[in-house]
Amino acid sequence: MLEEFLGRYSYFMIAVLMTIGIYGMLAKRNLIKKLIGMNILQTAIFLFFIEGGGKLGATVPVIDPQLGNDPAKYINPLPHVLMLTGIVVGISLTAVALAFLINISRTFHSLDEDCILKEMSK
Amino acid sequence: MEAYFSLKPLIAVLVSLLASGLIVLSGSRPNLREAWTITAALAKFAITLSMMPAVLAGKYPEVALFTISPGVSLALKVDPAGIIFGLSASVLWILTSFYSIGYMRGLSEHNQTRYFASFAVCLSATMGIAFAANLLTFFIFYEVLTIATYPLVIHKETPEALAAGRKYLVYLLTGGVVLLLALAFTYQIAGTVDFRPGGFLSQQVGQDRLMMLFMLFLVGFGVKSAIMPVHSWLPSAMIAPTPVSALLHAVAVVKAGVFGFVRMAGFVMGPELLQEIGALGIMAGFAAVTIILASLMAFRQDNLKRRLAYSTIGHLSYIVLGLALLSPSAWSGGVLHIVNHAAMKITLFLCAGAIYVKTHRENISDLNGIGRQMPLTMGAFAVAAMGLAGVPPIAGFVSKWYLVQGTLETGQVALTGVLLLSGLLNAGYFLPIVARAFFSPSPGFSKYSEASPWMVIPLMLTAVLSLLMGLFPDQLFHLYQLASNVAASVTGGGVP
Amino acid sequence: MSAAPVLIIAPLLLFAFISILAGLWRTSLAYISAVVGGTLSLAAAVFGLFQVLTEGKLSYHLGGWPPPLGIEYVLDPLSAFMALIIVFVGLVVIVYPPKAGLYQVPQRAVPLHGMIMLLLAGLIGVVVTGDLFNLFVFLEIYSLSSYALIAIGGKHALVASFRYLMLGTVAGSFYLLGIGFIYFATGSLNMADVARLLPSLYASPAIIAAVALIFIGIGIKMALFPLHIWLPDAHSYAPSIIAAILASVQIEVAAYVLIRMLLSVFQLDYLRLQLPVMATVGWCGAAGIIFGSVMAIAQRDFKRMLAYSTIAQIGYIGVGIGLANPLGIIGALLHILNHAFMKGCLFLVAGGIRHETGLREIPWFVGLGRRMPLMMGAFAVAALSMVGIPPTAGFFSKWYLVRGSIEGGNWAFAVIIVASSLLTAVYFFRVIEKVFANPPPTSSTGTVQKCEPPPRILVPILILAVGVLVLGLSNAVIVTRVLEQVVAPLFSIAGGR
């Protein structure tokens, strides 16, 4: 049991990160904190891909004449490349969300969800 | 019995749809607008009548337009049952059109363009129902009829009219969706929905599923034909202008429901199959109860149109009762009663409308002595009322005769009793109106006279028509022969 | 290899930027270039559909890398069908003037048409891609554009859009995580390749987790009850034309992803028998039908009523997918098409009413029928179609769905579908009664003031309303020519009757 945990401890950490992220999005009343929760959730998923692409004892995927063409010697670059795209998407989302938040705080003079809801129902 | 290609059924359906477009376009010129209505009515009648010889000779005009759902075409086919219904609707539309003009102008009603346009669409839908060659085509026109009648029901736009309109929609749309279930179920178990005399379902499907299908049909068509306990929309809908009540609630809408029973019992499930699964008894039971209860409830109505509405509910169930007896005479009687009841009931409604236009009175208790001022109107009323009670030689007697004969042939003496008792009840609630109109002292009716000829002539004509159909059931449009053709093809038996 | 799949997206992406740049110089040029781009894309979509129907599946390898290494764009009957709907509705909406559709265009700041083009490009991308990760990217492209577009609707819309962004991102992340599991189990992201590799792995818990994550993610994007909570606010506060695109094609694209998973990635029996995914989708749909209809009855605001009605209509699509038989899928796909026309038309009508009279709430709609007869006539057609009155299009999707339910022996679904037409009738006839049956407020002279909107508003509405009737009458052609080909590979036998 312990061995299993130690062998995959990074995945458990990723799961913990995801939980923290989702908790932040659900439980925090401040919209900025919700956004931070969202970022934590996304980061956890990026880490999941990056960890999944890793390989013990392998090197960067540039063919080295000394190592030859043995695929076991190189890590899989695809998940990492995917996550570059994922990070771009994540940044765009964060940027748009921040733009919204600036506007919201200008309109409602608050970033607290309860205050905003009260203001909206007026 | 062969089918041949002809565009006539399609034209008969489309002519009034086209007219409704023209009516809307010429809304600002009332005379032109009414001319379109009359032209379309005459054209529709002429086309329907021109198909009659072929149908009598056993050749059915047919047109399949295009595939509406994979495996099912939007198809029209004129068979004896269809032409009986189509003919009665188109004849009575001509008379009602003239009458409507008199009525609407007599009351200077608002929004007449919408009224005439919706009326024309209703007639298209009715012809579509009459000539539909399969259940899906039938259903499409059936729902169009429901929707097209709605503007007519709420025509007055008063809160009561709107409430009646809501009630109307709730009942009829519910009936419609139940029918949709029945339709989809039929298609799934049979793989076809084309009408076939004697039915296309077989016992192999299984007793339970057939019974379930039958119950769905019973509810679906039962709503539109106002079988108790789902009848109460009909008296409420009487708030519509009288010509609407006359044509739509005595001829088109409710008869579409009854005609649905004809198609279901005769052309989808088949009377023998219904007999085998024990469904005929249920149908007859509902019909018998409705006949008696509706007649009793008619007594309690003081509003003339509501009394007529309850009488309609009763008479519709005569037809259903006729279909529920596995006997050619009962079937002939039932099918004949579609036409006969239409002619007589429309007379009564037209009389009620004529009285309303002249005196603005709707209650029977206010009509003392009206007969002396409006003798023609009340004379026609008396003829039609006696006809509905079954007095010879008026049309109602003929159909009732065959119905009674049917009950005796099948040995259902209890149902004979129901029919006879209902005749008495009919006389009981109609004759006092006539007696009151002619023999009671009239308090200040002297200032009234007959309504305009636009209205009186149509109602006289329908009264004469009811009389003629009683005297010569076969000579006039060969109705009897057509009805017995239907009965023979459906029940597979000979004609007595 | 054929370029058709890319040719549908390329004009949209290209003109998205041209439109923005041109719009900075002169506002009217933004509009013109958007229309040009939309038209080119529509032409490509029509051409693509015909080519697919005659020649079969077309595929394009992006950058020349063959799958499974490279990204593959696939145009098969299903994606060609969806692409055509998206581009057509999109073009109709682009033609609709932004002044009426958006109430308050900030005069130059918002590169509005460019955003709409980007939204459409994202939607088309989801539809034509054959790669699971690429699908995620397009999913986020269209989501990002919709967040921005919703937020134009004012301060309420801003908050609604932020909440939608939060939930939408969770949905996207779940989907991405699900893909991660699939990738690490199979080593491939190409849909066809994954479908080939998966069957031997079905027992693995990773795949079960992947299915759960993907379906929850897509369920949120699709607003399938009970994951719909973002929709009512987002759709009712969004500007009318944006709401029209969102309700009529955007969430349907998520429904498409669900069907695509069924058709091209997982095997039907796995989702039906080993995991109760199909049953769950069906029952969520059924619950959504009832919930959406009941909530719609309770609304005063016209657009909010339409938004709840969308939840109900998505429920129909869910039921169709959940039935997982040919008739059910045909019904769901036909409903995607029909709903695009009906709901698009209704939201555009809402925009037209708002633009001409400033009204939003149903109780004030008294007498509009006489003041703007053509537009309200179009409204009546679309409303009757929502109720499911034949021969309008809405009836026929119900017809296939009811038949599918009966064929699957699932009477509960059949009863819910027909019962909800009654609920739909309740909330639409409430409006129809107000609009047509009550006398309009008259001016002092006693005549009715006509205020029919200008042709640029009216024509898109009438096109969609006529489309509703045409689709109804020609549904047999669509079903036999296109949809039966879509479902044929799924069920090996050729379609329904």
C63 at B interface, C-beta within 8 A: no
Do the bridges between strand B59-69 and strand B72-77 make them parallel or antiparallel, or are there none, so unpaired?
antiparallel
* Residues C138-178 pLDDT 10s: 999 999 999 998 988 888 888 999 999 999 999 999 999 99
Residues A100, C162: C-beta atoms closer than 8 Å: yes
pLDDT-derived band of residue C496, with 50, 70 and 90 as boundaries?
A: very low
Is chain B adjacent to chain A, meaning 3+ CB pairs within 8 angstroms? no
Q: How far is B112 from chain C (nearest CA, A)?
A: 13
B468 at C interface, C-beta within 8 A: no
Average pLDDT score over residue span C369-387: 89
C162 at A interface, C-beta within 8 A: yes
- Best of C395, C433, C448, C477 to disrupt the B interface by mutation (most B CBs within 10 Å)? C433
* Residues C387-422 pLDDT 10s: 988 889 989 999 999 999 998 888 999 999 999 999
Name which of C406, C425, C476 is nearest B184 (Cβ-Cβ): C406
Using an 8 Å Cβ cutoff, are C386 and C423 in contact? no
Q: How many beta-carbon pairs below 8 A join chains A and C?
A: 67
Note the pLDDT of residue C462.
92
Q: Is residue C39 part of a domain?
A: no
Chains in touch with A (≥3 Cβ pairs < 8 A): C
For residue C261, what is the DSSP state?
I
* Residues C205-249 pLDDT 10s: 888 889 999 999 999 999 998 888 899 999 988 888 889 999 999
* Residues C306-343 pLDDT 10s: 999 999 999 999 999 998 888 899 999 999 999 999 99
Note the pLDDT of residue C186.
87
**Nearest residue on chain A to C145, judged by CA atoms?**
A96
Alpha-carbon distance of C116 to C33, in angstroms, equals 12
- Helix H or strand E encompassing C58: strand C58-61
Q: Residue C21 half-sphere exposure, CB side, CA atoms within 13 Å?
A: 6
Q: Is residue B127 part of a domain?
A: no
Q: Is residue C117 part of a domain?
A: no
**pLDDT at C106 exceeding the cut of 70:** no
C180 at A interface, C-beta within 8 A: yes
Do the bridges between strand B59-69 and strand B2-5 make them parallel or antiparallel, or are there none, so unpaired?
parallel
Q: Is residue C181 part of a domain?
A: no
pLDDT-derived band of residue C263, with 50, 70 and 90 as boundaries?
A: confident
Name which of A22, A85, A116 is nearest C159 (Cβ-Cβ): A116
- Best of C170, C175, C193 to disrupt the A interface by mutation (most A CBs within 10 Å)? C170
Q: Is residue C483 part of a domain?
A: yes
Do the bridges between strand C58-61 and strand C72-75 make them parallel or antiparallel, or are there none, so unpaired?
antiparallel
* Residues A3-26 pLDDT 10s: 766 667 888 889 999 999 999 988
Residues C418, B178: C-beta atoms closer than 8 Å: yes
Note the pLDDT of residue C383.
93
CB neighbours of residue B214 within 10 Å: 24
Q: Is residue B357 part of a domain?
A: yes
Using DSSP, state whether A75 is helix, strand or coil. Answer: coil
A42 at C interface, C-beta within 8 A: yes
Q: Is residue B454 part of a domain?
A: yes
Using an 8 Å Cβ cutoff, are C45 and C83 in contact? yes
Q: List, for chain B, all residue ranges whose pLDDT scores fall below the cut of 50.
A: 494-496
Write b or e for each residue in C3-37: b if 16 or more Cβ atoms lie within 10 A of its Cβ, otherwise e. ebbbbbbbbbbbbbebbbebbeeeeebbbebbbeb
**Interface predicted TM-score (ipTM) over 0.85:** yes
C69 at A interface, C-beta within 8 A: no
**Nearest residue on chain B to C497, judged by CA atoms?**
B70
Cα C12 to Cα B110, B190, C45, C90, C240, distances in angstroms = 52, 48, 12, 11, 21
Length of chain C: 497
Alpha-carbon distance of C42 to C117, in angstroms, equals 12
Vertex B396, ends B392 and B402: CA angle to 5°? 90
Using an 8 Å Cβ cutoff, are C165 and C197 in contact? no
Instruction: Report the phi/psi class of residue C70: left, alpha or beta, with left for phi > 0 and alpha for psi in -120 to 50.
Output: beta
Average pLDDT score over residue span C36-41: 91
Tokens of B78: 């004129």
**Which chain C residues have a beta carbon less than 8 Å from that of B143?**
389-390, 395
A83 at C interface, C-beta within 8 A: no
CB neighbours of residue C477 within 10 Å: 13
Chains in touch with C (≥3 Cβ pairs < 8 A): A, B
Residues C162, A86: C-beta atoms closer than 8 Å: no
Average pLDDT score over residue span C106-125: 80
Residue A61 CA to its chain's centroid (Å):
24
Using an 8 Å Cβ cutoff, are B345 and B312 in contact? yes
Residues C158, A25: C-beta atoms closer than 8 Å: no
Alpha-carbon distance of C418 to C388, in angstroms, equals 9
Q: Is residue C294 part of a domain?
A: yes
**Nearest residue on chain C to B179, judged by CA atoms?**
C418
Q: How far is C421 from chain B (nearest CA, A)?
A: 8
Q: Is residue C196 part of a domain?
A: no
Note the pLDDT of residue B482.
82
Alpha-carbon distance of B166 to B171, in angstroms, equals 9
* Residues C68-80 pLDDT 10s: 778 888 888 889 9
B69 at C interface, C-beta within 8 A: yes
**pLDDT at C126 exceeding the cut of 90:** yes
Note the pLDDT of residue C110.
62
Per residue, what are the HEC states of chain B?
A: CEEEECCHHHHHHHHHHHHHHHHHHCCCCHHHHHHHHHHHHHHHHHHHHHCHHHHHCCEEEEEEEEEEECCEEEEEECCHHHHHHHHHHHHHHHHHHHHHHHHHHHCCCCCHHHHHHHHHHHHHHHHHHHHECEHHHHHHHHHHHHHHHHHHHCCCCCHHHHHHHHHHHHHHHHHHHHHHHHHHHHHHHHCCCECCCCCCCCHHHCHHHHHHHHHHHHHHHHHHCCCCCCCCHHHHHHHCCHHHHHHHHHHHHHHHHHHHHHHHHHHHCCHHHHHHCCHHHHHHHHHHHHHHHHHHHHHHCCEHHHHHHHHHHHHHHHHHHHHCCCCHHHHHHHHHHHHHHHHHHHHHHHHHHHHHHHHCCCEHHHCCCHHHHCHHHHHHHHHHHHHHHCCCCCHHHHHHHHHHHHHHHCCCHHHHHHHHHHHHHHHHHHHHHHHHHHHCCCCCCCCCCCCCHHHHHHHHHHHHHHHHHHHCCCCCCCHHHHHHHHHHHHHCCCCC
* Residues C273-310 pLDDT 10s: 778 888 889 999 999 999 999 999 999 899 999 999 99
Residues B191, C497: C-beta atoms closer than 8 Å: yes
Q: Is residue B425 part of a domain?
A: yes
Alpha-carbon distance of C221 to B391, in angstroms, equals 71
Domain of residue C291, residue span: 284-497
Q: Which residue has the higher pLDDT, C107 or C401?
A: C401
Note the pLDDT of residue C154.
80
Q: Delineate the domains of chain A, giving CATH numbers in brackets.
A: 2-120 (1.10.287.3510)
- Best of C385, C406, C428 to disrupt the B interface by mutation (most B CBs within 10 Å)? C406
**Which chain C residues have a beta carbon less than 8 Å from that of A95?**
none
Using CA of residue B383, residue B385, residue B386, residue B388, what is the dihedral sign?
positive
Note the pLDDT of residue C493.
43
Q: Which residue has the tokens 């699709």?
A: C222
Using CA of residue B447, residue B450, residue B454, residue B458, what is the dihedral sign?
positive
Using an 8 Å Cβ cutoff, are B81 and B486 in contact? yes
Note the pLDDT of residue A17.
92
Note the pLDDT of residue C467.
92
Q: How far is A74 from chain C (nearest CA, A)?
A: 15
Using CA of residue B112, residue B118, residue B120, residue B126, what is the dihedral sign?
negative
Into how many domains does chain B fold?
A: 1
Sequence-distant (6+) residues with CB within 8 A of C228 are C288, C292, C311, C314
Q: Is residue B95 part of a domain?
A: no
Q: Is residue B417 part of a domain?
A: yes
Per residue, what are the HEC states of C166-231?
A: HHHHHHHHHHHHHHHHHHHHHCCCEHHHHHHHHHHHCCCHHHHHHHHHHHHHHHHHHCCCCCCCCH
**pLDDT at C445 exceeding the cut of 80:** no
Into how many domains does chain C fold?
A: 1
Amino acid at C398: K
pLDDT-derived band of residue C87, with 50, 70 and 90 as boundaries?
A: very high
Domain of residue B446, residue span: 337-496
Alpha-carbon distance of C232 to C310, in angstroms, equals 9
Kindly state the percentage of chain C with pLDDT values over 90: 39
Residues A97, C183: C-beta atoms closer than 8 Å: no
Note the pLDDT of residue C107.
55
CB neighbours of residue C466 within 10 Å: 14
Q: Is residue B287 part of a domain?
A: no
**Which chain B residues have a beta carbon less than 8 Å from that of C420?**
none
Residue C115: which of C134, C139, C83, C142 has the closest Cα? C142
Q: Which residue has the higher pLDDT, B444 or C365?
A: C365
